[in-house]
Amino acid sequence: MTQQFEHFKPVALDHASRLVNHGPTVLVTSAHAGRRNIMAAAWSMPVEFTPPRIAIVIDKHTFSRELIAASGVLAVCIPGAAAADLTYAVGTSSGREGDKFARFGIETWPGALTGVPLVASGCVAWLECRLIPERHTEEAYDTCFAEVVAAAADERVFSNGHWSFREDNADLHTLHHLGAGNFARASAMIKAKPLP
């Protein structure tokens, strides 16, 4: 499960939305005033390439929402297939019951721009984000908007602005939650051919 950041390279901001373009399940990390949390989120999407902006559903009753509302920042970390168990574990437990990083042995690195913990264990990319306060959608749909201020990815699976899912990097393929701890892996790339 352990993986440090030696393979990570910065991702240009105008390529950052591509990291979540294909709908991976992500880990949301947050921190405020000495407390921190990590949760899983299947529901996120880009809403803009430039500036890179995303929407993400974070239930208003969660500890993560409390920390993000207080700090105004969050990180979106993208787990690789090797982190499936970890992703499900942090998605089915609450940080109010105790620090999940310690409980599950999750290694982190502080985000340079936000201070939010970035997940090293099994992750293949991360995006540091600033919340764009949108009270109505946060309340009505638990939908939070955020702008990406920094991003990086493991160059073995994302480089020059493109994902490359191959047989030799299966552990780095992104996870896509189907429900109840079942994930599909994004793999088997297809190149569309032009139609007449």
Which position among 32, 35, 104, 115 is part of the footprint of a second copy (CB under 8 A)?
104
**Any contact of residue 178 with a second copy (CB under 8 A)?**
yes
CB of 196 to a second copy, least distance (A): 9
State which H helix or E strand residue 135 sits in.
Answer: helix 135-141
Four-residue CA torsion sign, 121, 122, 127, 130? negative
Query: Binding mask 55-94 vs a second copy (x if CB under 8 A, - otherwise)?
Result: x-x-----------------------x--xxxxxx-----
Over the window 123 to 162, marking each residue x when it contacts a second copy by CB under 8 A and - when it does not, the resulting string is -----------x-xx---xxx-x---------------xx
| CB proximity list for 128: less than 8 A, separation 6 or greater | 73, 75, 111, 112, 113, 114, 116, 118, 148, 149, 150, 151
φ, ψ (nearest 5 deg) of residue 193? -100, 145
The CA-atom distances, in angstroms, between 65 and each of 23, 45, 178 are 21, 18, 23
Minimum CB separation from a second copy for residue 17, in Å? 9
Residue 18 is a binding residue for a second copy (CB under 8 A): yes
CB of 74 to a second copy, least distance (A): 16
User: Among residues 37, 44, 108, 121, which is the contact residue for a second copy, using CB under 8 A?
Assistant: 44
